[in-house]
Amino acid sequence: MTHPLPRTRRVPAAVTHWIALYLRARRVPAAVATSVGASAVVTLALAALTEQAAVHPGLAALAATLAVAPLTSTLAGNDAALERAVAWPWPPRRVAHLLACAVLVAGLLVAARAAGVEFGTTGQILRNAAGLAGLAGLTAALIGASLAWLPAVVWAAVQSLMGGTDVTAPRQAMLWMVQPSESRPAALTAGLLLAAGLVAYGLRAGPQPTAAEASLEQ
């Protein structure tokens, strides 16, 4: 007597179709390509211009921001009605989306080591990627995804100019991206930013683009 082979569990076609629709509606492929391209340009330029593997913390902060900035456009879609058509709850999807952005940025910065470029220790890279993703999510929830890149770029630029390790906890917290990995105030700041971004963006996607803005972005 033959027994039927156990059936392998497959992802329902509706799920894969929604994922493809979601990625296209959020313009994820183009944003990821831009983020990867920006990181590659910075990495190759640093590899060609300097013989030192370790990158200055200020430049490392800017490199992380350049990787995050293109991804902020994916935090909102052009058609809010289309995205609301799915019955799944939004908060888990938004949280997963934001965490995926952090993982991608961290992965790009770690991958630069293959070209002989060190954007900091693994702890610094993870801290900065997490904090920047949280800041982007928090900004998207408050003022919209179209401007979610702005606070990250401005804050990173300020830190790169004022950078340097500091003995005082408030300055370590303010200049968190350029601090060593053992800095507790810097880690706390990044952690708070990530937590605030996950909660705020998970509960509210922020102002949706107008029909005119959506048509221009397509």
pLDDT digits (tens, 9 = 90+) for 159-203: 998 877 667 899 999 999 999 999 999 999 999 999 999 999 998
Per-residue model confidence (pLDDT) at position 20:
81
Average pLDDT, the chain: 85
User: Nearest Cα to 177, choosing from 117, 135, 115?
Assistant: 135
Contacts of 218 (CB under 8 A, 6+ apart): 78
Reported confidence tier of residue 11, pLDDT bands at 50, 70, 90: low
pLDDT of residue 208: 55
209's tokens? 């683009």
The predicted pLDDT at position 215 comes to 46
Which residues fall within 8 angstroms of residue 200, CB to CB, at 6 or more apart? 137, 138, 141, 142
What's the pTM value of the predicted model, to 2 decimals? Answer: 0.84
More confident: 83 or 102? 102
Contacts of 122 (CB under 8 A, 6+ apart): 110, 181
Question: Which residues is 18 bridged to in the sheet?
Answer: none
Q: Say if residues 84 and 24 touch (Cβ distance below 8 Å).
A: no
Among the listed residues 216, 128, 114, the one whose alpha carbon sits nearest the alpha carbon of residue 180: 128
